[in-house]
Amino acid sequence: MFSETVKSLRLQKRLTLRDFCDQAGLDPSNWSKVERGINPPPGDVGVLESLATFFGLTGAEKLAFMDQAALQRGELPPDVADHVLLQKALPAFFRAARGHELTEAEMTNLAEDIRKLHARDHK
C-alpha cells in the first residue's frame, strides 16, 4: 500500500515527517494523513515523479510506487487503463476475482500471462 511504502521510505532516510515535508515541499499536516491512509496519495504525476526521485526510485521500483499510488486512490494505473488488450482482459479478471479469493499461484500465473502479453506488444 502506498501509505506504508512512503512512510517506510521516509524512515529509511531517517527523516521526521516535518523534515521530509520541508525538503519535499509538502504540507506536514496533509502528508501525515497520506501516510496514515486517511487522505489518498497525490494524483499529480509530477508530484509522484518528484517523490520517486527524492527517494531514489528508478525502474521497476518507481513503476511499483506509481502503481501503488493509483491503486490506493481506487484507480487503475494509467498505462493499464490505456492498454487495449488489458482493457479487454480486465472484465474476465474481475469476474474471476469476485468469484473467489485468488491463490498465490493463480495470481502468479495471471501476472506472468500479463507480462507475456506486454512483451508481445513490444516486439
Measured between alpha carbons, how far is 55 from 21 in angstroms, rounded to an integer?
Answer: 13
Find which of 4-8, 79-83, 116-120 is predicted with most confidence, using mean pLDDT: 4-8
**Cβ 10 vs Cβ 20: under 8 Å:** yes
For 31-87, the pLDDT digits (tens) are: 999 999 999 999 999 999 999 999 999 999 999 999 999 989 988 887 777 777 777
Residue 118 has pLDDT above 60, yes or no: no
Distances from the Cα of 104 to the Cαs of 44, 93, 101, in angstroms?
32, 15, 9
Topology of the domain covering 2-77: 434 Repressor (Amino-terminal Domain) (1.10.260)
For 8-38, the pLDDT digits (tens) are: 999 999 999 999 999 999 999 999 999 999 9
The domain segmentation of the chain, as residue ranges, is: 2-77, 83-121
Measured between alpha carbons, how far is 1 from 37 in angstroms, rounded to an integer?
Answer: 9
pLDDT the model gives residue 65: 94
pLDDT the model gives residue 104: 80
CA angle 52, 90, 96 (to 5 degrees): 115
Q: What is the mean pLDDT of residues 93-112?
A: 75
pLDDT the model gives residue 114: 67
Q: 3-state DSSP call for residue 79?
A: helix
Measured between alpha carbons, how far is 7 from 120 in angstroms, rounded to an integer?
Answer: 36
pLDDT the model gives residue 109: 79
Q: pTM of whole model > 0.85?
A: no
For 84-101, the pLDDT digits (tens) are: 777 777 777 777 777 767
